[in-house]
A and B are shown apart, each in its own frame.
Chain A
């Protein structure tokens, strides 16, 4: 039983990983079909199930909060009620008055909820960040050191150079403007630094992949027995 629970998943990861790695170098019809089955069907189903697990976990969290009447359980009632309404509207093809008799497509009640509830809530939630980033820039963005000054100057150049105003901040009679300086900065030192980071990221990605394949990295198995 210990082998099944602890060793077999590592063997599966190794076999599948090596097989799909080898597939890259052997693009035969059979190996392409195997890749098609794995990526176009199996992996997509598994990813969907993982996302459903996430939803179930959130529901479980809020249900527990309601059951134990923890602080703020009233909000959890709002969450679960809304969840139930949207699932009812989207999952069951009921002819809702004033809406098309389709489940999720255009003209459905589900689509109406998406456009008039989900979209404004999601978009506004993120738009709040504009206020906080302005406040943070005012309070925390200080030229305390040489490096911090470089960061601050580059930030201001991009802020001014990547809006229409940047074209107006220019030296007359030359091609030099805030826009052109921002463009040079993004295409040269910025590119160089992010490329250095990117190369490091890829090497670590390869190292992590090898650790997974050889069973050194096993955190995906979770805790417990």
Chain B
């Protein structure tokens, strides 16, 4: 017959069999509380993000930057803030972004983000980027299926691959594409991706056409892209919401928006939830070993 359980053993049993809804509630509270009462933790941008930012800063005014917004609503909090910050940086530096997307749920968000940036106002109510013309200073090409086919197609011709832009206007009539006819004419590629497209942009576009490439990806895929960053195939690597928050800081999004930008705003909650999960892992492992030793000693006596 088993001996009377000690308080520690009882606690171990209770902790290891905790109702999952208690964990859910703790997660919810740890996300919500810092968003209502921000802590305002400071952070320093990492080298991976600074490299991407510096590359864009170093481009000559008027250079064309291809932005592939390969993300949809499912990864919006991680990638969309980066897209907005990059567009602000491009327009402020006088660069000309050509935007496209390779995921079907992408064009709605990319178009909305572009319009939000174009409609940005200074504190005095004037437009932040006045006089920009579609097809001259920027272009939004919309979505195309095929992934690598699109990348290789762009390497040959923008007009063949995208005969129309998202609004249905012919790209052949746009001055921008008379000047920049193919991917090789672009000075930089920036892939903002929630799916595995960055690893295809490397062989089928960046290496083939000899155009530098930087990537913003969801945190899920960030770790597996470090070999590309180390090899210099990605000039910069912006990983997840933290990476976006770092880019927001470098671009100065707080001054542009007049409020804390979304990714930066989420950093306190991110820290608090991570502490919760790390503590949960430590506590669960401690009680797991306590219960295992107890079971072993019980087994030994039996």
Contacts and interface: CB of A to CB of B under 8 A. Distances in A.
Interface of A: 32-33, 35-41, 43-44, 46-48, 50-51, 102, 105-106, 111, 114-115, 118-120, 122-123, 125-126, 130-131, 134-135, 137-139, 141-143, 152, 155-156, 158-160, 162-165, 167-168, 179, 183, 186-187, 190-191, 194-195, 197-198
A40 to B, nearest CB: 3
Contacts of A50: 145
The 7 residue pairs across chains A and B that have the minimum distance between CB atoms: A40-B153, A43-B149, A36-B156, A47-B146, A164-B41, A164-B43, A47-B145
Given A118-B105, A134-B276, A105 B166 contact: yes
Contacts of B275: 160, 165
Contacts of A39: 146, 148-150, 152-153, 155-156, 161
B284 A191 contact: no
B177 interface: no
Contacts of A115: 108, 112
Given A40-B149, A114-B108, A119-B76, 20 more contacts: A36-B153, A36-B156, A36-B157, A39-B155, A39-B161, A40-B161, A43-B146, A44-B150, A48-B146, A119-B109, A143-B285, A160-B275, A160-B278, A164-B242, A164-B268, A179-B44, A190-B223, A194-B224, A194-B227, A195-B230
Contacts of B112: 106, 111, 115
B288 interface: yes
| SS of A interface (majority) | helix
A137 B75 contact: no
A187 B226 contact: yes
Nearest to B109: A119
A152 B277 CA distance: 12
A106 B276 contact: no
Most B CB contacts (10 A, CB to CB) among A119, A138, A159, A198 go to: A138
Nearest to B264: A164
| SS of B interface (majority) | helix
B281 interface: yes
B281 A152 contact: yes
B274 interface: yes
Nearest to B18: A138
A122 B72 contact: yes
B55 to A, nearest CB: 18
A203 to B, nearest CB: 14
B152 to A, nearest CB: 4
Most A CB contacts (10 A, CB to CB) among B24, B72, B273, B277 go to: B277
Contacts of A118: 73, 105, 108
Interface string B36-60: 0000011110110000000000000
Contacts of A36: 153, 156-157, 160
B274 A123 contact: no
Nearest to B228: A198
Given A123-B74, A134-B23, A40 B280 contact: no
